[in-house]
Amino acid sequence: MVDIEKLREIAREIISRDDVRQLIGYRQGTYGFRARPAFVTDPGEVDKLIFSPACVNNLATYITLEERLPVPRGQEPDLRKVAVMVKGCDSRALVQQMEEKAYERERILVLGIPCTGVVDMDKVEKRFPGVLARGEIVLEGDKFLLTYDGKEEEVAKGELLADKCTRCRYPTPLVYDQLLDEEVARFADDDYADVEALEKRSAEEKWAYWEEKFSRCIRCYSCRNVCPMCYCEDCVLDRLNPQWMRRSVDVSENTAYHIARAYHLAGRCIQCGECQRVCPVDIPLMELNRKFYKDVEELYDYEPGTNAEAPPLLSTFKVDDREDFIM
């Protein structure tokens, strides 16, 4: 577990530096043990920072989300660094963003958190209704310790762990300037069981499955907005000419939206699971992303977000790529 005092001490040191503009971390949420992002610009604010299994957000999103307005003539742009706290999965988003040249490595300062897993709030809510708003949760060894209403309860780690953590290949950040704890060895692997189960179904069954899911979509675009890889300034969804998909909410347009969203993450999605977490109607978006993730690994031996020096998958090719599907 990360020592909170040590985290705050390091954060204070970093935010006091002249070349750091702000630090993005986690702080206590309004209710219960939920955590929310914190944007620290002043050394006096670092005491708010925490890290707990409730820190689910991928903070890499905020680096590219920040609007960079044109600088008035005669003024220098603010080139100070942004410091960011990342878990293993989040660090891969940074790697992938840098692979795509979204920004230079010098522009960020990475505080790596070796992570042993975060909770899935939906699973907690399902098992202990209402506890989210008034309880406390800590990870001790291989158990989650829940405290609420004066009661204590122990739950096996696997039962409340987020799905992405049960398949996590990189618990220790792949890029960091300072590591806040001892490195964590890989404790899980991905076997794509969920994707393969769906692949085996017939075409009718697959479409019946997805039609039901897509018809629920209300097109709130939360999945796009939360995604650390969706940072195009001119998004295909906002285009009016050509208008790739209409804004109306029906199965046809929703399907088009989900195809476009998933395809734009082909070879880029780093499996942080944020899209699925924020979806208000519980569409299993990760099953779409994981299909690409699996294909990319099997066909092109490429894993997004692991090597900032490699060229992005779809902007390169090999002469002997598979072509058994071509007539």
Partner 1 sequence: MAEKTDFEPNIVAFLCNWCSYAGADLAGTSRIHYPPNVRVIRVMCSGRVNPLFVMNALQQGADGVLISGCHPGDCHYMQGNYYARRRFNLMRNFLEYLGVEPERVRMSWVSASEGAKWKEVIEEVVNGVKAVGPMDMFKRRQLNW
Q: By CB under 8 A, name the binding residues for partner 1.
A: 195, 198-199, 203-211, 236, 244-246, 248, 250-253, 255-256, 259-260, 262-263, 266-267, 288, 291-292, 295-296, 299-300, 313-315, 317-319, 321-323, 325-327
CB-CB contact of 170 with 91 (8 Å): yes
| Nearest approach, Cβ of residue 281 and partner 1 (Å) | 18
CB of 263 to partner 1, least distance (A): 6
H/E stretch holding 85: strand 81-86
Identity of the residue numbered 24: I
Residue closer to partner 1 (CB basis): 79 or 218: 218
| Of 147 and 215, CB closest to partner 1 | 215
Our CB check for partner 1 shows the closer of 51 and 210 to be 210
Question: Which strands form 143-148's sheet, in the order they lie side by side?
Answer: 136-140, 143-148, 151-156
Give the Cβ contact number of residue 70 at 10 Å.
6
Q: Least distance from C-beta 93 to partner 1, angstroms?
A: 20
Q: Nearest distance from residue 207's CB to partner 1, in Å?
A: 3
* 5/323 with CB nearer partner 1: 323
CA-to-CA dists, residue 54 to 110, 157, 169, 258, angstroms = 20, 13, 20, 28
Region for 166 from its dihedrals, namely left if φ exceeds 0, alpha if ψ lies in -120 to 50, beta otherwise: alpha
- Contacts of residue 109, defined as CB under 8 A and 6 or more positions apart, other chains included, come to 14, 20, 81, 82, 83, 84, 177
Closer to partner 1 by Cβ: residue 57 or 276: 276
> Between the CA atoms of 68, 18, 177 and 286, what dihedral angle is there, to the nearest 10 degrees?
-30
The two structure tokens encoding residue 233: 């300034």
Three-class DSSP category at 130: coil
As a whole number of angstroms, the distance between CA 253 and CA 214 comes to 9
Q: How far is the CB of 74 from partner 1 (least distance, A)?
A: 41
- Of residues 67 and 323, the one with the C-beta less far from partner 1: 323
Residue 132 or residue 265: which is nearer to partner 1 going by CB? 265
Q: How far is the CB of 255 from partner 1 (least distance, A)?
A: 4
The CA distance from 268 to 305, in Å, is 7
Distance CA 240, CA 86 (A): 36
Find the shortest distance in angstroms from Cβ 96 to partner 1.
Answer: 17
Considering the complex, state which of residue 100 and residue 295 has its C-beta at the smaller distance from partner 1: 295
CB of 320: closest distance to partner 1 in angstroms? 9
Which residue's entry shows tokens 């399902």? 126
